[in-house]
Structure 1
Amino acid sequence: MNKFVFKILIFTILFLFLSIFIFFFLPYNPDNYLLAYNKKCDLLRQESSGSRIILVGGSNLAFGMDSKMIEDSLHINVINYGLHAGIGLKYMIDDICTYVKENDIIVFAPEYNFFFGKGAYGEGLTLSSIIYLSNGRTFGLLDKTQKYNVIQGLFDGIIVTKIKYSISVFLHRILRKEDTPDGYSLSGFDEYGDYCKHWSFVEKKYIKLPRKLEHFNYVFGEYFVKKIKELRTQCRVVIIPPVIIKEGFDVFKDNAEEVNAFLLKNDIPFLVPPQTHVAPIDYIYDGYYHANRKGVDFYTTCVIEELKDFLAK
Structure 2
Amino acid sequence: MKNLMKSIIITVAAVIPALMMSVLCFALPPQYSKTFLGELADKYERLREIEEPKIIVVGGSSVAFGLDSALIEEYMDMPVVNFGLYASLGTKIMFDLTRGNINEGDIVIIAPELDPQTLSLYFNAEAMWQTLDSDFSMLARVRGSELPDLVGGWFEYVSKKSNLWLTNADLDPEGVYNHASFNEYGDISYPRPHNTMMLGYDPNKQIQLDPSIFSQDFLDYMNEYIAYARKCGAEVYFTFPPMNATALAPVDDEGILEFYNFIRENIDCEVISNINDYLIEENYFFDSNFHLNDAGVRLRTALLIEDLFRTLGRTEALSIEIPEAPERPAMVIDEGREDVWAQYFTFAEFPAADGVIAGYTVTGVTETGRGMVKLEIPTIHNGKPVLAIAPGALSGCTVLTDLTIRDNIISIENGAFGGAPALRRLHIYNENEMTMSVSQTGLFDDAAPGITICLYSKASFDSYTAGYYWGNYSSMMKLMP
Kept after mapping to 2: 8 A contact 1:38/1:134 = yes
Q: What secondary structure does 1:56 align onto?
A: strand
Question: Within 1, Cα distance between the matches of 2:196 and 2:229?
Answer: 38
Kept after mapping to 1: 8 A contact 2:90/2:118 = no
The superposition leaves residues 173-227 of structure 1 with CA deviations (integer Å, 9 ceiling, x where unpaired) of xxx99x633xx11111111110111435763334433255856421221121122
The superposition leaves residues 131-173 of structure 1 with CA deviations (integer Å, 9 ceiling, x where unpaired) of 44331543453212x2344345446656446646875748x9x
The verdict on how the C-alpha distance between 1:215 and 1:284 changes in structure 2, with shifts beyond 3 A counting, is closer
Could you tell me which residue of structure 1 aligns to residue 218 of structure 2?
220
The verdict on how the C-alpha distance between 1:307 and 1:150 changes in structure 2, with shifts beyond 3 A counting, is same
Could you tell me which residue of structure 2 aligns to residue 94 of structure 1?
96
In the alignment, is residue 68 of structure 1 matched against residue 76 of structure 2? no
The total of aligned residue pairs comes to: 288
Q: State the one-letter code of the partner of 1:112.
A: L
Could you tell me which residue of structure 2 aligns to residue 297 of structure 1?
298
TM-score normalized with structure 1 length: 0.77
Question: Within 1, Cα distance between the matches of 2:282 and 2:290?
Answer: 11
Question: Within 2, Cα distance between the matches of 1:96 and 1:187?
Answer: 23
Kept after mapping to 2: 8 A contact 1:27/1:166 = no
Question: Within 2, Cα distance between the matches of 1:133 and 1:27?
Answer: 6
TM-score normalized with structure 2 length: 0.52
The verdict on how the C-alpha distance between 1:142 and 1:263 changes in structure 2, with shifts beyond 3 A counting, is farther
Q: What secondary structure does 2:298 align onto?
A: helix
Could you tell me which residue of structure 2 aligns to residue 141 of structure 1?
142
Could you tell me which residue of structure 1 aligns to residue 36 of structure 2?
33
Question: Within 2, Cα distance between the matches of 1:265 and 1:30?
Answer: 38
The verdict on how the C-alpha distance between 1:216 and 1:47 changes in structure 2, with shifts beyond 3 A counting, is closer
Kept after mapping to 2: 8 A contact 1:95/1:138 = no
Kept after mapping to 1: 8 A contact 2:33/2:134 = no
Kept after mapping to 1: 8 A contact 2:226/2:268 = no
Q: What secondary structure does 1:45 align onto?
A: helix
In the alignment, is residue 180 of structure 1 matched against residue 175 of structure 2? yes
Q: State the one-letter code of the partner of 2:60.
A: G
Q: State the one-letter code of the partner of 2:183.
A: D
Q: What secondary structure does 1:112 align onto?
A: coil
The superposition leaves residues 207-248 of structure 1 with CA deviations (integer Å, 9 ceiling, x where unpaired) of 433255856421221121122123123111111011121133
Question: Within 1, Cα distance between the matches of 2:157 and 2:277?
Answer: 35
Kept after mapping to 1: 8 A contact 2:195/2:284 = no
Q: State the one-letter code of the partner of 2:235.
A: R
In the alignment, is residue 268 of structure 1 matched against residue 269 of structure 2? yes
The verdict on how the C-alpha distance between 1:280 and 1:47 changes in structure 2, with shifts beyond 3 A counting, is closer
Q: Higher mean Cα deviation, 279-288 or 89-98?
A: 89-98
Kept after mapping to 2: 8 A contact 1:85/1:122 = no
The verdict on how the C-alpha distance between 1:300 and 1:198 changes in structure 2, with shifts beyond 3 A counting, is same
The superposition leaves residues 283-306 of structure 1 with CA deviations (integer Å, 9 ceiling, x where unpaired) of 111111111112111111100111
Question: Within 2, Cα distance between the matches of 1:267 and 1:80?
Answer: 22
In the alignment, is residue 190 of structure 1 matched against residue 183 of structure 2? yes
Question: Within 2, Cα distance between the matches of 1:292 and 1:189?
Answer: 14
Q: Which runs of 5 or more structure 1 residues have no equivalent in the other structure?
A: 1-12
Q: Percent identity?
A: 22
The verdict on how the C-alpha distance between 1:169 and 1:237 changes in structure 2, with shifts beyond 3 A counting, is same
Could you tell me which residue of structure 2 aligns to residue 237 of structure 1?
236
The verdict on how the C-alpha distance between 1:27 and 1:202 changes in structure 2, with shifts beyond 3 A counting, is same
Alignment of 1:199-210 (within 5 A): 199-200=192-193, 203-206=196-199, 207-208=201-202, 209-210=204-205
Q: What secondary structure does 2:283 align onto?
A: helix
Superposition deviation, residue 266 in structure 1: 4.5
Could you tell me which residue of structure 2 aligns to residue 9 of structure 1?
none
Question: Within 2, Cα distance between the matches of 1:252 and 1:26?
Answer: 50
The 4+ residue runs of structure 1 with deviation greater than 6 A are 251-256
Q: State the one-letter code of the partner of 2:197.
A: K
Could you tell me which residue of structure 2 aligns to residue 10 of structure 1?
none
Q: What secondary structure does 2:287 align onto?
A: strand
Question: Within 2, Cα distance between the matches of 1:158 and 1:241?
Answer: 37
Question: Within 2, Cα distance between the matches of 1:58 and 1:26?
Answer: 27
Q: State the one-letter code of the partner of 2:150.
A: V
Question: Within 1, Cα distance between the matches of 2:62 and 2:205?
Answer: 15
Could you tell me which residue of structure 2 aligns to residue 82 of structure 1?
84
Q: What secondary structure does 1:72 align onto?
A: helix
The verdict on how the C-alpha distance between 1:202 and 1:137 changes in structure 2, with shifts beyond 3 A counting, is closer
Structure with greater contact order relative to length (CA < 8 Å, sep ≥ 6): 1
Question: Within 1, Cα distance between the matches of 2:42 and 2:112?
Answer: 21
Question: Within 2, Cα distance between the matches of 1:252 and 1:64?
Answer: 25
Kept after mapping to 2: 8 A contact 1:245/1:288 = yes
* Higher alpha-carbon Rg: 2
Larger proportion of helix? 1
Q: Higher mean Cα deviation, 302-311 or 197-206?
A: 197-206
Q: State the one-letter code of the partner of 1:192.
A: Y
Question: Within 1, Cα distance between the matches of 2:162 and 2:290?
Answer: 28
Q: Which runs of 5 or more structure 2 residues have no equivalent in the other structure?
A: 1-13, 315-481
Question: Within 2, Cα distance between the matches of 1:43 and 1:151?
Answer: 27
Kept after mapping to 2: 8 A contact 1:115/1:220 = no
The verdict on how the C-alpha distance between 1:116 and 1:308 changes in structure 2, with shifts beyond 3 A counting, is closer
Question: Within 2, Cα distance between the matches of 1:276 and 1:162?
Answer: 47
Question: Within 2, Cα distance between the matches of 1:165 and 1:201?
Answer: 37
Kept after mapping to 2: 8 A contact 1:26/1:166 = no
The verdict on how the C-alpha distance between 1:116 and 1:135 changes in structure 2, with shifts beyond 3 A counting, is closer
Aligned CA-pair RMSD: 3.5
Kept after mapping to 2: 8 A contact 1:246/1:281 = yes
Q: What secondary structure does 1:180 align onto?
A: coil
Could you tell me which residue of structure 1 aligns to residue 46 of structure 2?
43
